[in-house]
Structure 1
Amino acid sequence: MKKKLIIDVDAGVDDAVAIMIALSMPDVEVLGITCCNGNTSVENVLKNVLRVLKICNRLDIPVYRGCSKPLVARTIHASDYFGTDGFGDVPDPHAPSLDLVQKKKAEQAIIDFVNENPGEVMLVSTAPLTNLAVTVQLDPTLSKKLKALFIMGGNTESRGNTTMCGEFNFVADPEAAYIVLDRYTCPTYIATWEFTCRNSLPWKAQSPEFRDTNPLGCEFDLCDAYAMAAAVNADIDADINNFITESVEVAVTVELEGTYTRGMMVLDYMHKLKKEHTVFIMKKVDLEMFQEMLINAVK
């Protein structure tokens, strides 16, 4: 039986790669792709997802419009990283029409897919967690019917990439991240910012001269793709994941009030939260397997 996925994105180049990995796996069925404000506006995210699906000849996969702004936080985008449109501002005169976007809202689509396939659906989020937070508020029983949740976001050592202590997806909507980590009690796996930095891949095509003069530019980090790689290689029933070679299991939450730490993920090694639900924080993965998956995704 194929693994059933819902993918929640704010595409984003690395979101695009994550989608392509899922589409390249013969034992994976992508039920739908939900879109959220994040790297760029939700309008651009919808366009970018449709562009990816067109290139992959998979415009049959339904795409859904989600939240256009955070629950409470000020809206931020990653225009300095992925360009104003999320795809490096590369023109695409033949991009698919937004008329292809489904009329149903993303949150309702997630609820319907899960209710139609109870215990079978894995949800992969590579975006701010706004859509997921709204979804669980609409259906508080959703988490009990999900097979697993995979997230790219958060951090483990206060090392930020947007604020001093915060990773982009969590900083973009801290309240949503807090709600998701509090109310989703299904098996949960998180690829954090520091983890992805430590598991970067080399730019093999670079010349020796470039590597010698640019020692910090010899690796690339497709953050969102790690969460997807973990999802498509997961055997949740058998508690096996050939991709993840080392992880730590711990209860987590998100700081909402700190001046410098708002949006930072907090790991409760001292058991102060008294939470029954713990998550798996990825530490190491099979990089050879990851590289092979990336190659297959773009063939």
Structure 2
Amino acid sequence: MKKLILDVDTGVDDAQAIMMALAAPDVEILGITCSHGNTTLDNACKNTLRVLKACNRLDIPVYRGCLEPLLGRKHHAGDFHGKDGLGDTPDPDAPGLELLQKEKAAKAIVQFVNQNPGEVTLVATAPLTNLALAVKLNPGFTKKLKALYIMGGNMESRGNTTVCGEFNFVADPEAAYIVLERYLCPTYIATWEFSCRNSLPWAFCDTWLKQGTDKSRFMEKIYAHTRKMVQTERYQKELVSGPGFNTCDTYATAAAIEDTLVTESEEVAVTVELDGTHTRGMMVLDYMGLLKKKHKVFIMKRVDLEKFKQLLINALK
């Protein structure tokens, strides 16, 4: 069994990623840690519990993490996923925050990894605040990580939040910088441009949501608001490769689940720009070797789209 920790800021995209991981037969989710990001921390926690309830998996422990970035001002995704992050489709019977673990997210991450050395893969689809705090608490634990998969950053300075910045990195640039400096385990990054270039046809999305299961009906309901947003002309123009169904967070999760999913990647040293009027939070790729960094990350370029589709289909069965 692959042992995963999911670090999320649960909006609709994280919900899709969580459900994909839950459906994988050879995956054990040790815990889910929540962060500020798409919505407020409390909403992210409530949404995570709600997704687990929809999948009948409230046995998985959920941990409250950081409610704000290390230094900068808060960024939320506005109404992109609805004010509550889950499509503004409230459930009167949703699980309450009393189900959260008493342990905090950063400490839980460290403990899971130390208890399972060399076995745990950490999948981060949120601002990286919890991960940065974890390595500050215990600098040595990252040596025991099997791998780190990140949805965030960009490889061509194309932004989706600022001119040159992707949301997760812009929401906490200092945390992203710390993680890319201090996590020296095998690291795989699904950037904004990568997810755009591997987007799927909207016809597939229709098929995906019409499976006639409780999970597909749940996803269709919570995704309706976001779908209207992403199908606007303005947003579709941002998608680098043209219109399509782009479920960003699931790419990093899918790659962590399926070893053969990524068909093309490149290995390069990276860092994060912390200054600059337009470039703060931008991921910088060091093709010239000027950073003198020994640790390099794998930047995903292409995936097997048929395998990716199947993972999405399985998530809603």
TM-score normalised according to structure 1 size: 0.93
Aligned partners of 1:7 and 1:262: how far apart in 2? Answer: 26
Superimposed CA distance per residue, residues 182-213 of structure 1 (whole angstroms, 9 cap, x where no aligned partner): 00000000000000000000111689xxxxxx
Indicate the SS of the match to 2:126.
coil
Q: Deviations over 1:135-156 (max 9, x none)?
A: 0000000110000000000000
Alignment partner of 1:222 is 2:272: no
1:297 aligns with 2:315: yes
The equivalent residue for 2:45 is: 46
- Judged with a 3 Å threshold, the aligned counterparts in structure 2 of structure 1 residues 206 and 192 are, in CA distance, closer, same or farther, namely closer
**Structure 2 residues not aligned, in runs of 5+:** 207-232
Shift of 1:218: 5.0
1:80: Cα distance to partner? 2.9
Q: Secondary structure at the match of 1:204?
A: helix
For each residue in 1:207-241, what CA deviation from the matched residue of structure 2 results, as whole angstroms up to 9, or x when unmatched? 9xxxxxx897852110000000000113xxxxxxx
Pairs within 5 Å for 1:225-244:
225-234=250-259, 242-244=260-262
- In structure 2, what is the Cα distance between the partners aligned to 1:15 and 1:170? 16
**Alignment match, 2:306:** 288
Deviation at 1:250, TM superposition (A): 0.1
1:85-126 Cα offsets, whole Å, 9 max, x none, are 111111111100111000000011111101110010000000
3-state SS of 1:5 partner: strand
For 2:47 and 2:74, locate their aligned partners in 1 and report how far apart those are by CA, in whole Å: 19
Q: Which runs of 5+ in 1 are unaligned?
A: 208-213, 235-241
1:110 corresponds in structure 2 to 109
CA distance in 1, matches of 2:204, 2:278: 39
In structure 2, the partner of 1:273 is 291
Aligned to 2:94: 95
- State the one-letter code of the partner of 2:299: I
- Give the aligned residue type for 1:97: G
Tell me which residue corresponds to 2:211. Answer: none
1:138 aligned residue: 137
Query: How is 1:147-158 mapped onto 2 (pairs within 5 angstroms)?
Result: 147-158=146-157
Distance 1:134 1:170 in 2: 15
> What SS class does the counterpart of residue 8 from structure 1 fall into?
strand
TM-score (norm 2): 0.88
Alignment counterpart, residue 248 of structure 1, candidates 261, 266, 269: 266
- Greater shift, 73-82 or 252-261, is seen at 73-82
Alignment: residue pair count: 286
Cα deviation 1:2-51 (Å, max 9, x = unaligned): 00000000011110111111110110000000000000011000000000
Amino acid at match of 2:21: A
- In the TM superposition, residue 280 of structure 1 has moved relative to its aligned partner by 0.2
Root mean square deviation, CA, Å: 1.6
Q: Give the match for residue 121 of structure 2.
A: 122
Letter in 2 for 1:129: L
Q: Is the 8 A contact 2:40 2:76 kept in 1?
A: yes
Alignment partners' CA distance in 2, 1:44 and 1:206: 26
Q: Secondary structure at the match of 2:79?
A: helix
Counterpart Cα distance in 2 of 1:121 and 1:65? 20
